[in-house]
Each structure stands twice: as structure tokens, then as C-alpha cells.
A and B are shown apart, each in its own frame.
Chain A
């Protein structure tokens, strides 16, 4: 089979890098492969992806040895624009890639540059709008889209140019479970029916492991390519079904719910006992008859909610369901148009009663070191306390002297959470705290949130990540159309859903949420 993308002995060091970001890399992707790039946060995944169309080293500088060839073209001899007809790239922050204003024009931009014939271009735009279900957004300004919508438009804009290789960096980080499923299904169709080659980096293995047929493991700049099951096993990573498979000793280790269910039939589990989680304390915050608008639309319509001390509440729902608006109202920075929000029977004081870690965690970071970043929060509330406590709690103590900008997206997120948590506000709010987080970092975040609730705080997280909700939450509130359509313990609310059920529920039935819970119950 023809090679679509090849890395030949590639070693690359950033201009100010102490050691190579890519170290002696050998990769060969056959035409029509659907390949996953996987590895811990900060391991060099983004560098590998950006080298695929020559952005590394052409835009970064640095020392580059070896050869990357795309469809037979050498990336050193051809600048990225000369590869634009072959390879398209969707970076981690999709909002920053938009050149034009209207969704439809944005889709056409790449084709205009390639000089595609106008009638052909028109047809391709329509097809792409349909493929990613963007027809209703075609006339919108890209600056007014939600995070999930922006992500889908960025993928569509890359696809519309008709590349034979598509490279994506965490393409589902802001998508709800159904939206992610739809995007991956669309990609697979292009792989199967049109021989497109897809290379994508993703931390949420439960979403992608079932779709890919090839994997590239990256760790500290070293790379190993192979079948997904082998690569994941070597990295000690995998979706929840693989984790449980490794514990039980299933062989081969399953990567999908379907594979795991075959083994699960042979396992006898007792009736699930609810996981031991902290109980409810008194009411900390109450929301009554809340109506709030976002832009021109009503984001929340008559919501009632009581949040108790000691709870970790996961607010879930599709893109645009009103999750972020609810968080901002709880934090006291978004004025509701009707109803009221009380924290300890008073209007919430932002930053004191309620602290919020925003979706764009980079909006917070401004100090030269991680340690000073957290100290800034302590100083602001007149404390001289030790930032180390917060850094330890989130497992970033080892990064205390580093500059936040030199960290990976996932590490920066943990630093932002530490800076927000250091307010010691009784109501801790987090908006989609998952971008760039690898599974170990996510485990640390979960442990921190649970410990924070055990100390009597209330944690509310808006998230699309069902595995995070299953692991961290004591309660799940499902929003749709600005109303709470389900509210209860995770086992009931998630177990009852086709879209939001975590993998353990899908394999072992309602009541089973996490691999730890299943592992303990195993005979």
C-alpha cells in the first residue's frame, strides 16, 4: 500500500529546548489509515502532529534532522502552503484558526487558496456542511459560536479543502458525547469510502479507541508505532474497558465496549453497592426559578437547584445546554433576568463565596512561575500561606519553578485549578476542566475534587466527559434547553442514558461507574 505520511529518523529540538522534543522518530502511515497519537501530557504529541505538514520546523525554527515526507513531498523542501492540497491540520485551539467571519466563507477559504473551480467549490461546501451537520450555522459569524460549534467548523474547514491526510489535535475536547461520536463517524466514513488518512491526538481514549486501526505512542519524544492494543498496553494507558481487562486478565485486552461485553458475560458481579462517597451536608447554595439569557437566546429557563456542602455536582448536557451560563450565574458574575441565586443566604461574592476556573484556563495565568501564580491568589485574600499545599493537592509541586507558558495545555490547566482553588471559596466551579488532561492528571484532578468536597466545600463542574463525571461526581444534573431534565446520583442519571453512560455501565450494567468500583467487587 502507498505511504501517505512517513517520518524517517526524525530528531527535532526547539530553539530553546534542552533536549529533543522528537527523538529519532520512525513513523509510516499507509494511505487510508485511521491513526491515534497517544501519550502523556507534554510528551511531544503536538510537535509530532505539527511536523506532519512542516509547521515544525518551518514556523518554529530549531534543529531538525531526518526527513518527513507527505505524499512523497519533503516537508523541508515544501513550505506548509505547498502541502495544503495534501494535508490539512486542525490545532488544539480551533477558535484561533479562523481567517474569515462567516462559517460558509471559512469553509471555502482553503479551496479559494487552492484555486478550486467555483462550481466545484460550491458543491464541496454544501457537502461538508451536511457531513458535519452545520447547515444551521452556515450564515453565522464564527466569533459568536460556542466552543463545540467552533470545533466542528474548524474540522469542516479542514475537510472542505479536500485533503488526502487530515491531522487533528484533540478534535473532540469541547464536544458533547453525541457530537464527538458524529464527528468520528464522519471521519471514519471518509477513511473507509475515500481512502483519506487521519492522524489524531486524543486523551479521551474511550471515545476514539474503537475507531482507530493504528496507533503511535509518544513518551518523552520517543515514538512507537503499532496496533492500538499493543501501543496502549506498553504506555500503560487505555480506556476504562482496557483498564478493567488488564486487572481481570482478559486476553486480548478489549478496547471497546463491544469487545469487553463478550468477556463480561463470564464475570459474575454482585449487586452493585453505591460507591462510598461523602454524604450531603446542609444547603450551601440555592437557585430558585432562574432565568438567564446568553446573547439573544434564553440559556436557562426556570431552574431550581439546591447545592449541598460536600457534594461534587457534574452539570452535563449537549453543547449550548446552558452549563457555562449556570456556572457564571452561580459565581455571581452573570445577572439572571429572573429568579435568584443565594450562597449562604446571600448574593454570591465572586472570588470569595464562589470561585470559577474558566474554560480558557490560560485567561488566568500571568506570573513567571507556577508557585507565584498560586501565591497571587493567596495574597489577594490577605494570606501569606504556603502555595505548596495547593500545588501538592493537584500534583504540580514538581513544576513550581517553571514558567506556566512552558507547560503543556494539561499542566497549565492543573495550575489554573490550583490558582482558583487557593481562594478557598466554599463553592468551587470548574468549566470543562479536561482539555489536554491525560488520564493520570485526570485522576489527580478527581482526587482533588473529592478531597475538596470531603472538607465541606461544594464543587460544581460543567463537563462533557462522562468518565470524569462517573469518577468524581456525587450527583449529576442533566440540562437540556435550559431546564434540568434529570437530577440524581450518577448511577441513576448516567446509568439511565444511552449517550452519557460510562463504559463500566455499558459493560456491566446500571450501578457500575468506575473501574475501581468494579475491581473491588470482583470475586
Chain B
């Protein structure tokens, strides 16, 4: 059985704190460190579900964000300072995307449903099912495209769109209908619920949440108190600062990576 040492709540804490850290700084040292931390966490925890595959999509989105934000300079005064500033702004946005992508890849939306309070069970389940549609459709598109290719139909361009879209959509509708029937037939919405194997809050979960909280608190105090440089000067461009305390704080976000949940 897959070990499940980490409570989804701990992941929520981790993602929120890591996101807060990325939000308050444009220093590339910390931001790139956050990329490394995210990658470390991702490789040790990615689940075997379709959502894990969407990590790549977030990564691509992140790179696109950096490029686009930097390219905006070309609509104004082009200078080293402006380019560097735009690049760092883009990098911050990209880092937040990478963190969210990691969170998405290591948690199972249905795991989050399990910890939702009883009154939020229905909306949480609806949200999780909605979230699972995108990766399922991606898988379905791949399958249909291959199936059509194997009968000699190349799915390319607008004219061949029906060959791809019709089976994908019809299957999607059929599956949604079957799922709705199945949920009803299995007693969904009877109003009484019990909970199977509530996920335990483990020591590992505490460690992750606490480490992430310390990291966020350190950065927020630096941001509020101004005891360290969080936004490196770009005019004139100087080498970015790297405060040892903040490096340690960022590294604390790597704690989940030390606790492996992924099968080897």
C-alpha cells in the first residue's frame, strides 16, 4: 500500500506559505531556490494520477510567463534596468505557478474532498470532479487521435476536427451521464454520511506545516520590517542580495521532499 504520511491540510499549508514567500520577493536567488525546492518536492511526491502529468503544463506556463513579462519591455523604453525589472517580475509570477503546479501534482483533489468539513462535502466533490475533467479530456484526446490515425485518418486542421471532437465530447457526455447515474445508484445525496478512514494528522504533517510557517513568517517579517533586501535594485543593476537567514527560510520549504511518499 502507498504510504500516506502527509495530510492534505499540510500540503495546503505548504503551498500557501511557499506562495506567500514568492509573493513578497523578486530576488532571483530566492525565487530560483523556490524552483529547486518545488522540483525536489515534486519528484518525491508526485502521485500516479493524471493530475501529476499536468505539472509539465504548469512548468511550460511558468516559462511562458517569464518570456512574455520580459517581452513587455519592448513596448516601452528598452534598457538593461527595465529588462531586468520585467524579468524579475515575470520570474515571481512564474514561481507562483510552479508552486501551484507542484501542489496540484502532489495532492489528489479527492483527498482534499475527504478533509472538507461535512457541510462542504457536496461542493468539494463537485469541484474535484470538475477538476478531474481536464486531465481526463487530455487523455481522451490522445486516445481518439491515435485511434483515428490507426484507421488512416490524420487529425490535423479544422476540417478533421469532428473526427477528434465528436468522439471526445460524446464519450465525455456518456461518461458524465454514467457517473451521475452511478453516484445516485450508490446512494449519493441521501443526506447521511460517515467517513471511511479519516486521514490521520501525522508528525510529518506537523513538521511540514511548521517549517513552511517559519519560512513564510521570516519572509513576511523581512518584508514588513525591512531587515533584508527582498527586491534587488535594478537601476543601476547590482548583484542580488542573498541573506543567509532567508536562504535557510526558503530551504525549510524543502522539508516535504525529505519525507518520501512516492513508491520507488
A111 and B188 in contact, given A351-B151, A366-B167, A377-B151 (Cβ under 8 angstroms) = no
Instruction: Flag if A122 contacts B182 (CB, 8 Å).
Output: no
Q: Once the chains are docked, how many angstroms separate the CA of A422 from the CA of B151? A: 8
Q: How far is the CB of A383 from chain B (nearest CB, A)?
A: 10
How distant is A499 from chain B, measured CB to nearest CB, in Å? 29
Determine, out of B141-149, B215-223, B230-238, the stretch whose residues face the partner at the interface: B141-149
Q: In the complex, A350→B153 CA distance in Å? A: 10
B-contacting 9-mer, from A91-99, A185-193, A467-475: A91-99
If A143-B49, A355-B151 touch, whether A118 touches B187 (CB-CB below 8 Å) is no
- The interface residues of chain B lying within 8 Å CB-to-CB of A96 are 174-175, 178-179, 182
Q: A115-B193, A380-B153 are in contact. Are A364 and B147 (CB under 8 A)?
A: yes
A476 part of interface (Cβ distance < 8 Å): no
Is A140 close to B, CB under 8 A?
yes
Q: How far is the CB of A113 from chain B (nearest CB, A)?
A: 4
A83 vs B167: C-alpha distance in the bound complex, in angstroms?
Answer: 33
A:420-446 near B, CB below 8 Å:
420, 422-423, 425, 429
Kindly state whether residue B130 has any CB partner on chain A within 8 Å: no
B47: A residues at CB distance < 8 A: 141
Of A99, A352, A405, which one neighbours B183 at CB under 8 angstroms?
A99
* Neighbouring A residues of B181 by C-beta, 8 Å: 55, 59, 80, 91
CA distance A481 to B194 in the complex (A): 41
- Indicate if the CB atoms of B150 and A117 lie closer than 8 Å: no
Residues in chain A near residue B184, CB distance under 8 A = 55, 59, 79-81
Whether A420 and B146, one on each chain, are in contact in the complex, defined by CB atoms closer than 8 angstroms, is no
Q: Using an 8 Å CB-CB cutoff, how does the interface string of A135-152 with B read, 1 for contact, 0 for none?
A: 000111101100000000
Assess whether A80 is in contact with B185, with CB atoms less than 8 Å apart. yes
Q: Judge whether B170 and A362 touch: CB under 8 Å.
A: yes
Instruction: Tell which of B110, B146, B185 has the most Cβ of chain A within 10 Å.
Output: B185
Q: In this assembly, does A6 line the interface, its C-beta being within 8 Å of a C-beta of chain B?
A: no
Q: How far is the CB of B153 from chain A (nearest CB, A)?
A: 5
By the criterion CB–CB under 8 Å, are B193 and A113 in contact?
yes
Number of A-B contacts (CB under 8 A): 193
Asked whether A109 is an interface residue with its Cβ less than 8 Å from the other chain, the reply is: yes
What 1/0 flags go to B102-120 for Cβ under 8 Å of A?
A: 0000001111011000000
Give the Cβ gap from A366 to chain B, nearest Cβ, in Å.
4
Contacting residue for B185 out of A81, A93, A139, A354, CB 8 A: A81
Indicate whether A391 reaches chain B with its CB closer than 8 angstroms: no
Measured CA separation A91–B109 after assembly (Å):
25
B interface, by DSSP: helix, strand, loop or mixed? helix
Known contacts A108-B196, A115-B192; is-contact A99 B187 (Cβ 8 Å): no
Scoring A85, A112, A118, A139 by chain B CB atoms within 10 A of each residue's CB, the highest score goes to A112
Interface size on A, residues (CB 8 A): 75
Q: How far is the CA of A88 from the CA of B185 in the complex (A)?
A: 7
A82 with B196: CB separation less than 8 A: no
Closest to A85 in B: B187
B150 touches A81 (CB 8 A): no
Identify which of B147, B174, B185, B194 contacts A121 (C-beta below 8 A). Answer: B194
Q: Among A88, A354, A356, which residue has its beta carbon within 8 angstroms of that of B186?
A: A88
Q: Are A91 and B144 in contact (CB under 8 A)?
A: no
Which A-chain residue is minimally distant from B153 (CB atoms)?
Answer: A380
Which residues from chain B contact A102 at a C-beta distance below 8 Å? 108, 110
Residues of B within 8 A of A87 (CB): 185
B187 touches A144 (CB 8 A): no
A376 lies within 8 A of B163 (CB): yes
Q: Is the CB of B196 within 8 A of A111?
A: yes
Answer yes or no: A358 CB below 8 A from chain B CBs: yes
Counting CB contacts under 8 A, is A363 at the interface? yes
Q: Within 8 Å CB of A235, what residues of B?
A: none
Smallest CB-CB separation from B169: which chain A residue?
Answer: A366
Instruction: Produce 1/0 per residue, A118-139, CB < 8 A to B.
Output: 1001100100000000000011
Question: Is A99 a contact of B1 with CB atoms below 8 Å?
Answer: no
Bound Cα distance from A5 to B110, whole angstroms: 35
Are A144 and B194 interface neighbours, CB within 8 A?
no
CB distance from B7 to the nearest CB of A (A): 15
Report the separation of the CA atoms of residues A213 and B72 in the bound assembly, to the nearest whole angstrom. Answer: 75
A144 touching B49 in the complex, CB below 8 Å, given contacts A115-B192, A358-B143, A420-B150: yes
User: Given A97-B179, A355-B152, do A113 and B185 touch, yes or no (CB 8 Å)?
Assistant: no
**In the complex, what distance in Å separates the CA atom of A80 from the CA atom of B178?**
13
A-B contact pairs, 16 of them (CB 8 A): A59-B177, A96-B178, A100-B113, A113-B187, A113-B188, A116-B194, A121-B194, A140-B2, A333-B146, A357-B151, A363-B167, A363-B171, A366-B163, A376-B163, A377-B151, A405-B170
Extra A-B contacts (13), CB below 8 Å, given A113-B187, A114-B187, A116-B194 = A80-B185, A81-B189, A91-B178, A91-B181, A93-B175, A99-B125, A110-B187, A141-B49, A363-B148, A364-B148, A365-B166, A377-B152, A380-B152
Interface residues of B (CB under 8 A from A): 1-2, 47-50, 108-111, 113-114, 125, 129, 132, 136, 139, 143-144, 146-154, 162-163, 165-167, 170-171, 174-175, 177-190, 192-198
Closest 7 CB pairs of A and B: A84-B187, A351-B152, A113-B187, A108-B196, A366-B166, A115-B192, A139-B2
